[in-house]
Amino acid sequence: MKICVAVFFGGKSTEHEISCISANQAIHALDKEKYEVLPIYISKDNEFYIGEELFDLANYSSFINDPAQVLKKVTIYKDGNAVKVKPVKGLFAKEYQIDVAFPVVHGTNVEDGSLAGFLQMLDLPYTSCDVLGGALGQDKAAMKDVFRAEGIPMVEYFVVYNSDFEENYNEYLAQAKKLGFPLIAKPANLGSSIGIEVIKNQKEFKEKVSECLRYDFKVVVETMIEDLKEVNISVIGTNDSARVSAIEEVTNGFLDFDKKYQPGKGSKGAKKLGAKAGAKGASKGMASTIRKVPADLTAKQKKTIEDTALKVFRVLNSFGCVRIDFMIDRKNNKVYCNEINTIPGSLAFYLWKEDGISFDKECDELINNALYRYAKKSRKTYSFDTNILDNYAKK
Ligand SMILES: Nc1ncnc2c1ncn2[C@@H]1O[C@H](COP(=O)(O)OP(=O)(O)O)[C@@H](O)[C@H]1O
Ligand SMILES: [Mg+2]
């Protein structure tokens, strides 16, 4: 019997569409000889759907706003030791039994530990970070606080809270002045460069931070690196061991949403190195970013990035395949860790390809790791016999 792999994607997130692209790449890459692939689309209302249409990205624009018209709504539930997927309509509709969940979700309400929590409750092996890893990876303020505690190199930053921005404005402004302008302000919980503001000077501070606070209750304000080189590395691993990929340099400068995912719009005339690596039958997504692999780095910078990436993977409780992004200040060649993407766009397959690992092999490894973690965790103790409730029983 083939292993049934449920690929989860979409969800109530600003990166919904990007997740559809990444997931489609994985759906095409998964080895159909070994796996029965069940795509599970999470609508923008966080409802679950299945359907043959999910195998072809060309169909997606037809249902994204009204999936019930085209797809089958399903319920996912635990039934003894099995996890089942059942259409909500049709008494005799085919049910599926999932063996492994393969989340390819990006952003809030899904990648942030929410989906991991749901899968954990179902007691299902899954290929991505657990609740804590996903949550820390999503919240830039919490993530940076852990980085700071662990001595991970970072640009200086402070966190602004919506709840007291007006009241303590002068203190916040003093912190900004201490770091020095220009600064960057980012909503703590978004991705894909959405809501990011450059604060050129003191005069702009209030307006730009307020703009950012429209997106989130917390905003990270940090030193802006003006002469920036951006490099990314992927890590694949478990709680016991991990390894790093090749390092890419992303060369289209300040990556905004359009530039990252709609190259025609934001990076006119630029060479799309990732394009050739695109999975057959699927769109390019993050794989279409303009990149140079391997990045031009000194041996020392390369080592710093690799060592730091492995440390970040461990201290943020990561699992599966992540991408860790670094910034280099060209003025002094210093390396700073910027963030982790716990489920990166295109699952960073284009980086592993550089090391001779094809996307289907990467998927195999993620599934094997998920089964390994599940087996290992199953041997830990989660309950013990107690008679505490006997004290509450009616005598
Ligand atoms: N401190 C900084 N200095 C200069 N540019 C930055 C800085 N922080 C972020 N950026 C730019 O903004 C982009 C998006 O910021 P990032 O922190 O990676 O958030 P996101 O989760 O949206 O990807 C980065 O890829 C980089 O181009
Ligand atoms: Mg980023």
- Going along the chain from its start, the domains and CATH numbers come out as 3-128 (3.40.50.20), 156-223 (3.30.1490.20), 227-371 (3.30.470.20)
Please tell me which of 186-195, 284-293, 306-315, 369-378 the model is most confident about, judged by mean pLDDT: 306-315
Do 222 and 156 meet the contact criterion of CB atoms below 8 Å apart?
Answer: yes
pLDDT in tens, 338-389: 999 999 999 999 999 999 999 999 999 999 999 999 999 887 776 777 788 8
pLDDT number for residue 281: 36
User: Can you tell me which atom of ligand 1 is nearest the CA of 224?
Assistant: 3
User: Can you tell me which atom of ligand 1 is nearest the CA of 338?
Assistant: 17
Please, what is the Cα angle at 23 between 284 and 137, to 5 degrees? 100
Tokens 């919490």, residue located: 142
Average pLDDT of the segment spanning 227-240:
95
CA distance 296 to 299: 10
pLDDT number for residue 87: 96
Do 112 and 135 meet the contact criterion of CB atoms below 8 Å apart?
Answer: yes
pLDDT number for residue 254: 55
Ligand lying closest to the C-alpha of residue 216: 1
pLDDT in tens, 142-193: 999 999 999 999 999 999 999 999 999 999 999 999 999 999 999 998 766 7
Q: What is the pTM of this model?
A: 0.90
Mutate-to-test residue for ligand 1 from 184, 189, 225, highest number of ligand atoms within 8 A of CB: 184
Complete DSSP assignment for 255-280: --HHHHH-HHHHSTT---GGGGGPPT
Q: What mean pLDDT is reported for the chain?
A: 90
Write the Ramachandran bin of 125: left for phi over 0, alpha for psi from -120 to 50, otherwise beta: beta
pLDDT number for residue 286: 63
Distance 84 CA to ligand 2 centre (A): 35
Buried-exposed string 180-200: b where 16+ CB fall within 10 A, e elsewhere: ebebbbbbbbbbbeebbbebe
Distance 230 CA to ligand 1 centre (A): 9
Amino acid in position 270: A
The pairs formed by 115-120 with CB atoms below 8 angstroms and a separation of 24 or more are: 115/8, 115/11, 115/42
Virtual torsion, Cα 376, 377, 378, 379, nearest 10 deg: 60
Q: Does the C-beta of 230 come closer than 6 Å to ligand 1?
A: yes
Distance 339 CA to ligand 2 centre (A): 6
Average pLDDT of the segment spanning 5-30:
96
Residue nearest to atom 11 of ligand 1 (CA): 254
pLDDT-based confidence at residue 283 (cuts at 50, 70, 90): low
Distance 281 CA to ligand 1 centre (A): 31
> Strand, helix or coil at 123?
coil
pLDDT number for residue 285: 61
Average pLDDT of the segment spanning 82-89:
96
pLDDT-based confidence at residue 271 (cuts at 50, 70, 90): very low
pLDDT number for residue 388: 84
Percent of the chain with pLDDT over 70: 90
User: Can you tell me which atom of ligand 1 is nearest the CA of 194?
Assistant: 22
Distance 164 CA to ligand 1 centre (A): 25
Task: Please tell me what DSSP assigns to residue 54.
Answer: G
pLDDT-based confidence at residue 194 (cuts at 50, 70, 90): confident
